[in-house]
Amino acid sequence: MKRTPSEQRIIELLAPGALCRDGFLGDDHRELQEILDADRATVEALGLTHRDIAAALDDACRAAMAGLEAPVHLTSGNLVAEFHDAMGFIPSPWGEGKLFAKGEVVVTDPATGDRLVYTPLSVHLIGKHGFYQGRGSPYRLDPARVARLFGLGRRASNLDTTSGKET
């Protein structure tokens, strides 16, 4: 597949060691566009938009950050969020001149044990670019899993999270 110079640059920045140790693609050998398309299909099947999902993640991230590393009970649902601080910033692989605080958000449903781990950069990549990271990436967020945890969209529990198709 031919790539434009800007696409090639993004691919290089998504690789391990470019901006972070593990990169953003994990062991996913699909082309970036295929990853984006598959996750977009999942999001559409849920009746959601990337912005809907990013907004839920962002709310939890902001609440967790305000807790200064202590666990915070989210107002929506029975979820608990924690922010694990790390010093410094990381830029977006899309190179938009924005820097994002390093550190991890951990959102847990104590009733089920379901847990999501992501970063402030993850929120931006989803909201702005529809990029949920490749399979095997430490911060890969499957849209259906996010939707299920936050209670977003329709029939979230009936989705095959691998293909994004309804089962």
Partner 1 sequence: MTSVLPIILAAAAACAVTTSLAAMLMLAERYLVKYGTCRLDVNSSDRVIEVKGGKSVLESLKAEGIFVPSACGGRGTCAYCKLKITEGGGPVAPTELALLSEQELSENVRITCQVKVRNDMSLVVPEHLLSAGEYRGVVERITDLTHDIKNLRIRLVEPKSIKYQPGQYIQLEAPAYGSNPEAVFRAYSMSSMPDEDDCLELIIRLVPGGICTTWVFTMLAEGDEVRFNGPYGDFHLSETDREMIWIAGGSGMAPFWSMVRHMAAHDMARKTTYFFGAVRARDLFLVEELRKLDQHHEWFTFVPALSAPADEDNWDGETGRITDVVDRHVSDGSQAEVYLCGSPGMVDAAGRVVTAKGIPPERIFFDKFG
Residues that bind partner 1 (CB under 8 A): 12-13, 15-23, 65-71, 83-93, 95-97, 99, 101-104, 138-139
For the bound state, the minimum distance from the C-beta of residue 99 to partner 1, rounded and expressed in Å, comes to 7
Question: For residues 5 and 167, which CB has a smaller minimum distance to partner 1 in the complex?
Answer: 5
For the bound state, the minimum distance from the C-beta of residue 15 to partner 1, rounded and expressed in Å, comes to 8
CA dihedral sign of residues 139, 140, 145, 147? positive
For the bound state, the minimum distance from the C-beta of residue 116 to partner 1, rounded and expressed in Å, comes to 14
Question: For residues 23 and 164, which CB has a smaller minimum distance to partner 1 in the complex?
Answer: 23
Beta strands, E only, 10-161: 72-73, 80-91, 99-108, 115-118
Question: For residues 105 and 152, which CB has a smaller minimum distance to partner 1 in the complex?
Answer: 105
Instruction: Return d(Cα 132, Cα 35) in angstroms, integer.
Output: 8
SS3 12: helix
Kind and range of the H or E element at 144? Answer: helix 143-150
**How many CA atoms within 13 Å lie on the side-chain side of 64?**
24
For the bound state, the minimum distance from the C-beta of residue 110 to partner 1, rounded and expressed in Å, comes to 15
Question: For residues 12 and 160, which CB has a smaller minimum distance to partner 1 in the complex?
Answer: 12
